[in-house]
Structure 1
Amino acid sequence: MDKSFRKRNKATSATSQNPESPNSDLAPSGDPASAIIDVPAVEVPELTEQEQHDRLFLERKVERAFFEAGKALAELRDRRLYRSTHRTFEEYCRDRFGHSRQQSNYLIAAAGVYENLTTNGCQILPTSERQVRPLVALTVEEQLTCWQSAVKEAGGKVPSGRIVKDVVQRIMERTRVPNTYELGEVCQILAKSNPELRGKGGCWAIVSQVNDFSCTVRLWNGELTVGVQHLKSFEYLPDECQQMQKMCDRINRVYSRGLEETVKNLLQSLGKLNRPYLTAVEEKLLSLIETEYRVTDGG
């Protein structure tokens, strides 16, 4: 008989008889495949009162992370604390945080929604910006209604952004009134904390296309599609609307040229007029700019 075989057989036999063997926890069984392993129970100690306090504190910090970021960005923007290193807030956000101006605006707007929900006593609060993004363009009352419905749909837990978006669409479709705006009508843009309308609040706009729940409008510096909840008619007479159309054409032709910052600021002030005409001084200034940049009625 092969000696190496005998040695392996003895070693196996010795192991099976050794009470200190790693397999000694196996219950005796004729079939190794059906052996029962005894696993000692591991007792998990309960959290102490201090640990419970620490857990809650840290959870709150995670939940409020996007809120704190939005509030900080708003202060950096409003106080222009970026001015020593960057010309614009957009450049600052891109270089310092690696995200666009729009991303910053979303965080800032989301912080406002979070604050509205806490002020109105919501117990279940959002934990990320994407969860509240669909609520940004709504009124405070609409934000509260939609968020509470989304929480209920999520089984009393924090809802995902998809659930919130679905709830907002369903509720808004039920409550929206038909679009009654007409082509050529002059309206005022109401930003209502919508980050996409930042800087355009208060501007006049001329309706160029009527959709189901929105309008495409012409502003002093371009075209934009806006929900009807962000528009308010000036209720101008037809002749006044035509005057505004001519004014819009003139300003747009000038704006299409490369302009100095001072000229842009003047055009922006004209783009926020709440009357359908230019004063004598405003007419002279606009005519002077048209002459300076060689802008004619033909463009």
Structure 2
Amino acid sequence: MSKPPSKREKATSAASSDNTPPASSAEDILEPEDPATATITVTAVEVPELTEQEVSDRLHLERKVERAFFEAGKALAELRDRKLYRSTHKTFEEYCKQRFGYTRIAASYKIAAATVMDNLLTNGLQKEEIATGELQTPKMLTNGLQILPNNERQVRPLVSLEPEVQREAWQKAVEVAGGKVPSGRIVKDVVQRIIERTRIPNTYQLGEVCQILAKDNPKLRGKGGCWGIVNHVGEFSCTVKTWDGEYTVGLQYLKSYNYLAHECQQMQVICDRISRVYSDLLEETVKNLLQSLGKLNRPYLTAVEKKLLSVLELEYGEK
């Protein structure tokens, strides 16, 4: 007769039927590692080098990003010069406002910035290469300009300078920035120092009649050739009153007519009469007539001009 199983044998048999592994001996039990002394294994991920084609693509795309403001300015200039907005809008200003959300000043600044960029760019490139944005390597640049602006704020302060001085100012700004692309603030400071260095004494007098020389100043667009009455004399500029408002104009954008005192008084009267009638809401033909009077290069009105102005004053009265 067989001997009944002991308690130990019963426990072993039960564990075997449950597929539960038998308990390990004290020697088989491993204590967890101390976090302070545990070793962490990091698998290195190899970053593949750029291929020659990828390097070329990167440079090309970076140039496109940097030149975005330049291309926008060039495009706006062509839209304006060819009047490609004329099928939907009466004026370029209205078109920019509705199509792009740009004010007249903003659009003018973008165009002026593109003009400055054109000046800083190489003359060794063909025009079609510049237009398509194929500028890729520093050796393609001239005038030592191997670092170019990449946004409009860096270019805007240069607008008021002559082309040769623009290049000088930009090179100086790059030097101040330690050989890197300078910020707009650095460029502005450099330009201000150049203006102070080359400034001429302000000899204009209150009440003097001056002609506005707009040149490439976007703030004076449409005012080239207009005359104005000086009503404030500053250190670097004058405030002049024209038929449609007041403008602060740098000395380099003014030219005195050298009228006699009584002739300046006559022009003051004419200016006041025109400004009382002028309004942006006037019909285009009336506005054009008043604007033409605002560009006279003589200190008087002809008999016909006097009659026309009198008719407009009766018709429209004071604004």
Which TM-score applies when normalising by structure 1? 0.83
CA distance in 1, matches of 2:212, 2:29: 85
Segments ≥4 residues shifted beyond 6 Å = 13-17
2:89 alignment partner in structure 1: 86
1:109 alignment partner in structure 2: 112
1:67 alignment partner in structure 2: 70
Q: Which has the larger radius of gyration?
A: 2
**Residue 34 of structure 1, CA deviation:** 4.4
CA gap 1:180/1:34 in 2 versus in 1, 3 angstroms: farther
Which has the higher mean CA deviation after the structures are superposed, 179-188 or 258-267?
A: 258-267
CA distance in 2, matches of 1:14, 1:136: 83
CA gap 1:266/1:48 in 2 versus in 1, 3 angstroms: same
CA distance in 1, matches of 2:222, 2:117: 22
Pick from 298, 306, 311: which aligns with 1:275? 298
Residue 291 in structure 1 maps to residue 294 in structure 2? no
2:246 alignment partner in structure 1: 223
**Residue 66 of structure 1, CA deviation:** 0.7
**Corresponding residue SS for 2:203:** coil
Q: Extract unaligned runs of 5+ from structure 2.
A: 1-20, 124-141
CA distance in 2, matches of 1:240, 1:197: 25
**Corresponding residue SS for 2:160:** coil
Pick from 39, 42, 45: which aligns with 2:42? 39
Pick from 166, 177, 192: which aligns with 1:143? 166
Residue 156 in structure 1 maps to residue 179 in structure 2? yes
CA gap 1:207/1:158 in 2 versus in 1, 3 angstroms: same
Contact 1:138 1:192 in 2 (8 A): no
Residue 173 in structure 1 maps to residue 186 in structure 2? no
Q: Which amino acid aligns with 1:253?
A: R
Q: Which amino acid aligns with 1:46?
A: E
CA distance in 2, matches of 1:14, 1:173: 87
Residue 133 in structure 1 maps to residue 156 in structure 2? yes
CA gap 1:292/1:95 in 2 versus in 1, 3 angstroms: closer
CA gap 1:81/1:169 in 2 versus in 1, 3 angstroms: same
Q: Which amino acid aligns with 1:98?
A: G
2:57 alignment partner in structure 1: 54
Aligned length: 276
Which TM-score applies when normalising by structure 2? 0.78
